[in-house]
Structure 1
Amino acid sequence: MNSNKAENAMRIGAPFAVGLALLLVWQTLCTAYAVPSYLFPKPSDISDSFGREWHTLFAALGTTLKITLSGFAAACVIGILIAVIFVQSKVIELAFFPYAVLLQVTPIAAVSPLIVILVKNTTGALIVVSTIVALFPIISNTTLGLRSVDPGLLNLFRARRASRLQILLRLRVPSALPYIFAGLRISIGLALIGAVVGEFVAGTGGRGSGLAYQILQAGFQLDIPLMFAALALISVAGIAMFTVMLVLTRLALSHWHESELEARR
């Protein structure tokens, strides 16, 4: 028990100590060499800018998170449904999986302008972009997980004349949960990237603008500390969402799956 507590403390304390050391080095070097804030701001400059504009930044963060979570939710539903269909028919998987790969390898920055043009509603277009970016890891991981069942258990279910639905819900899905959650942890970050890229392309401003627009606006105004503050807020949001998915994974698997049981020993 004490070793687990020490390990958990190390997981939190070690990255925090490294980050703090890097910030101190950053602050010291920028101060020693008198680097102008419009070229490369010190952490203190970024903190001051955040303190002045926190209300604007958090409002923009809310817009970006709304798009991110909407895209992520859509990717979860669509990706898991596609994976279930792939598992039911090898022919369908062979016919359509290359197009799922196409979503992954196509540069989203090149496709985003077309999506913004085709989808008249700007928010809807940004959600579509976020969904496309987050979709492939869910499809690939869920498909792999649904196929990675114990052959002996699968033969037992078939010998007991279990239906495809029973095999799916009682055997394939429980076996696939670690793979599914692994895909979700990857996709939540990609959904945020897709939302930010979409905002950059759309360039929407005003009260409903996201963090990407705040970065663009700060760049136009040469307010580099504000730009760094917005970037830092995006990073913190991504880390927070990944942490939430990690906690959900442990809550779902910690009491029965060997991967989490081994990690707790």
Structure 2
Amino acid sequence: MKSAQQIVRFVLPAVVFAGGLVLWEMIVDVNDIQPYVLPSPLLVLKTLVHDWPILSQSLGVTLLTTLEGFVAAALGGVALALLFNQSKWLEYSLFPYAVILQVTPVIAIAPLLLIYLQQQTAVIVCAWIVAFFPVLSNTTLGLNSVDRNLAGLFQLYGASRLQKLMLLQLPAALPYILGGLRIAGGLSLIGAVVAEIAAGSAGAGSGLAFRIAESGYRLNIPRMFAALLLLSLAGIVIYGLLALISYLLLRRWHESALGKES
């Protein structure tokens, strides 16, 4: 029964997607809509194949930026959360500024960063800004959510602060950390895209978001759709990889992963 439900769970979205593509193709053909208004799915696919040398190079630039921003956010967020956990004074002093950094729209920060930093550095910083806070907040929450009884047991046996951190707090916080990383993966791509659009408007850029803006200026709408398709696929792959890593790390002991195996 469960296997049948899992099959339906994966088949239904594919059927809906295929039906949407067929409906889209029919609407374009019946109404004779011009490609610069709305290209058909087949034309988008042909454009993706024809312009693949340009789009693939831009995709590589965007993915590299996303990876660098994500790694910086992951390392910085976890490290700062560990410092917050060890020093409440430090948390009270710096956490409000992390919140301010999160709520400030990155589209407003990107032009300023492009003035003071090199283009590629500014784009990476934008990706880091967007992805940093979910890792920091989730890790901080996880480290502070340790069971009080287990914490009392460690204290009763005279465990050092390092032993408590490594053997109790970090394992307990791992699901929270992985959840923050899954969120940060998609947000780092969004930050990279926003920064690339700002860099493109400043007259420089080579990422996939720049190609979208460039295609819009030239009314090359099929290429715009093809680039947007690549961005969507990149986001899905990033989330899928992080979800897989999370499952592999939690499947033997955490309820969130154990339930998926039954």
TM-score of the aligned structures, taking structure 2 as reference length: 0.95
Q: Is 1:167 paired with 2:169? A: no
Question: By how many angstroms is 1:118 displaced?
Answer: 1.1
What corresponds to 2:38 in structure 1?
40
From 233, 245, 255, the equivalent of 1:236 is 233
Change (3 A) 1:10 1:169: farther
Distance 1:123 1:21 in 2: 40
When structure 1 is superposed on structure 2, of 174-183 and 25-34 the one drifting more is 25-34
Count of residues in correspondence between the two structures: 261
Does the 8 A contact of 1:83 with 1:140 survive in 2? yes
Task: Specify the code of the residue in structure 2 equivalent to 1:134.
Answer: A
Question: By how many angstroms is 1:7 displaced?
Answer: 4.2
Deviations along 1:216-252, one digit per CA (max 9) or x if unpaired, are: 2211211000001000100000000000001001000
Distance 2:128 2:9 in 1: 31
Distance 2:177 2:7 in 1: 28
Q: Is 1:212 paired with 2:209? A: yes
Q: Is 1:118 paired with 2:116? A: yes
Question: By how many angstroms is 1:91 displaced?
Answer: 2.4
Distance 2:21 2:143 in 1: 44
When structure 1 is superposed on structure 2, of 90-99 and 9-18 the one drifting more is 9-18
Q: Where in structure 2 are there 5+ consecutive unaligned residues?
A: none
Q: Is 1:23 paired with 2:39? A: no
What corresponds to 1:49 in structure 2?
47
Change (3 A) 1:7 1:243: farther
From 125, 130, 141, the equivalent of 1:128 is 125
What corresponds to 1:196 in structure 2?
193
Q: Is 1:66 paired with 2:64? A: yes
What corresponds to 2:88 in structure 1?
90
Question: By how many angstroms is 1:114 displaced?
Answer: 0.8
Distance 1:8 1:57 in 2: 35
Distance 1:18 1:187 in 2: 28
Distance 1:236 1:153 in 2: 43
When structure 1 is superposed on structure 2, of 9-18 and 246-255 the one drifting more is 9-18
Distance 2:248 2:13 in 1: 23
Change (3 A) 1:155 1:124: same
Q: Secondary structure at the match of 2:35?
A: coil
Question: By how many angstroms is 1:25 displaced?
Answer: 1.2
Question: By how many angstroms is 1:12 displaced?
Answer: 2.7
Question: By how many angstroms is 1:192 displaced?
Answer: 0.3
When structure 1 is superposed on structure 2, of 229-238 and 10-19 the one drifting more is 10-19
Q: Is 1:137 paired with 2:134? A: yes
Task: Specify the code of the residue in structure 2 equivalent to 1:105.
Answer: V
Deviations along 1:171-220, one digit per CA (max 9) or x if unpaired, are: 011111111111111100000011111111111778x7110111122112
Change (3 A) 1:10 1:248: farther
Identity within the alignment, %: 46
Does the 8 A contact of 1:49 with 1:225 survive in 2? yes
Distance 2:215 2:113 in 1: 26
Distance 1:36 1:199 in 2: 29
What corresponds to 1:252 in structure 2?
249
Task: Specify the code of the residue in structure 1 equivalent to 2:97.
Answer: Y
Q: Where in structure 1 are there 5+ consecutive unaligned residues?
A: none
Question: By how many angstroms is 1:10 displaced?
Answer: 3.3
What corresponds to 1:6 in structure 2?
4
Deviations along 1:112-142, one digit per CA (max 9) or x if unpaired, are: 01111111x2211111110011001001111
Does the 8 A contact of 1:205 with 1:213 survive in 2? no
Distance 1:193 1:138 in 2: 16
Distance 2:170 2:223 in 1: 45
TM-score of the aligned structures, taking structure 1 as reference length: 0.94
Q: Secondary structure at the match of 2:51?
A: helix
